[in-house]
Structure 1
């Protein structure tokens, strides 16, 4: 796949939900190139159950070699999103990359899922992706290699993914539909819109707290695998790489990676397939 450059040096990323986990890993990988990273997240103060804040994440980004702008904000609030984008442009002069990482999860079935939790997932996942991308687009149009990367899955209509937790599935599939729709809408502007999703579980707070605890973490890969795949996508030519719902491991294999052992959270452990991934 053609690349404009193999580095994100001097590029400005706007990332939602990057105070920990996959979002932070993507930010740190970009920072190693010398990128500018603006991160918007709700965690401004230490949380009893969640590691890190937007401020500790910014400190890590700068220690890794990047420039950081920490913004405490809620992507459900359109005014806060607009202010965060404006602050990013004022600080760094523009935006080259939008990463939609923020997400909410609840795997309850229809009867058990209360509507407040349902609304939260729709507002953060699908609506948040739409809102953040919409706010960034005017600035992405001015970039020479503009990318929107959304952490959302391939679209499988198999009953197993629809029947088990339809509320969450709708919210995540909505993010992927944003990718496909916006890729078509903005192709003439040179803005690449792609999604990225791991084949296996990734060791994050969601896995630890909601998807099986230590046992699930032991069957996961580290967030760095997603960060390396994201870097590969974001350094491709935006006019030649859009409208894809990528799987992480497929991206890395295309880059020549054949051994994923170093990404294991626990060496030599049996890995668990992630949601929405059909093993065949």
Structure 2
């Protein structure tokens, strides 16, 4: 079986949700995980801190470094990367998971919210990858994974919430660029997106979505594991949907990932095809 044992992953937004699930999956292999997120002390509305996640990583068999990082702050990113390299000797994998969301139209999107989405989703993804790049170039099987959707020009997504859509598509377009830019260096750049809604704290904040309509974050974590353990030179520039990444590994029975086995799953944003 392919493994992340001994690999060092720098994961943004890893204190909860999908980022945390990816971290814990890597930990079970014996990976080193840098928990790079803002929540150092308990949040009033959101569960989990970088220290809570670090403790769970080590309980699961991995090594952890909890670093408070706001991906809008270049100095904090650089400091976190330096601490990671000092602790683990390098960085093999970058997972750009941190993201801000506001499903609002133009008039309803305040400029501070617009700036937040662009600063975290687009600029943050670029800044984190750029800071880790020198270390990825020295890694044995380096990967960049962006939690972004397949690129689309469908007006249905842009008309509904243009600012958020552009911020997420911006993340994905970096994958196109980086896959080509880093091809000769052997650094893989791929994107991953869930086919269904995922039961996370962020989901609870954007609307009245019931957990019964969602899958658990572990499906995305298992899909990420499948991607990140592939040879980097043979797997780059792809826009994976979690189901498809798992199907390529022979995993087609996804019932265990549903929050409610009897619930009706809802398709996530930016997924054009209906659920099978």
Determine the C-alpha separation between the residues in 2 that align with 1:228 and 1:90.
28
Contact 1:261–1:268 (Cα < 8 Å) also in 2: no
Q: Indicate the residue corresponding to 2:156 in structure 1.
A: 160
Determine the C-alpha separation between the residues in 1 that align with 2:218 and 2:86.
30
Structure 2: where are the runs of 5+ without partners?
none
Q: Indicate the residue corresponding to 1:183 in structure 2.
A: 179
Q: Which runs of 4+ in 1 moved over 4 A?
A: none
Computed over aligned residues only, the root mean square deviation of the Cα atoms, in angstroms, reads 0.8
Q: Does 1:151 align with 2:147?
A: yes
Determine the C-alpha separation between the residues in 2 that align with 1:210 and 1:218.
16
What SS class does the counterpart of residue 188 from structure 1 fall into?
coil
Match of 2:225 among 225, 231, 254: 231
Q: Indicate the residue corresponding to 2:236 in structure 1.
A: 242
What SS class does the counterpart of residue 189 from structure 1 fall into?
coil
Contact 1:194–1:242 (Cα < 8 Å) also in 2: yes
Q: Indicate the residue corresponding to 1:108 in structure 2.
A: 104
With the length of structure 1 as denominator, give the TM-score of the two structures.
0.96
How many residue pairs get aligned? The number is 274
Determine the C-alpha separation between the residues in 2 that align with 1:161 and 1:168.
9
Determine the C-alpha separation between the residues in 2 that align with 1:226 and 1:245.
13
Determine the C-alpha separation between the residues in 2 that align with 1:232 and 1:206.
24
Q: CA deviation at 1:218?
A: 1.4
Structure 1: where are the runs of 5+ without partners?
none
With the length of structure 2 as denominator, give the TM-score of the two structures.
0.98
Q: Does 1:34 align with 2:38?
A: no
Q: Does 1:263 align with 2:246?
A: no
Determine the C-alpha separation between the residues in 2 that align with 1:94 and 1:73.
18
Determine the C-alpha separation between the residues in 1 that align with 2:259 and 2:206.
17
What SS class does the counterpart of residue 187 from structure 1 fall into?
coil
Match of 1:57 among 53, 58, 78: 53
Q: CA deviation at 1:121?
A: 0.1
Q: Does 1:99 align with 2:95?
A: yes
Q: Indicate the residue corresponding to 1:254 in structure 2.
A: 248
Q: Does 1:132 align with 2:136?
A: no
Q: CA deviation at 1:56?
A: 0.2
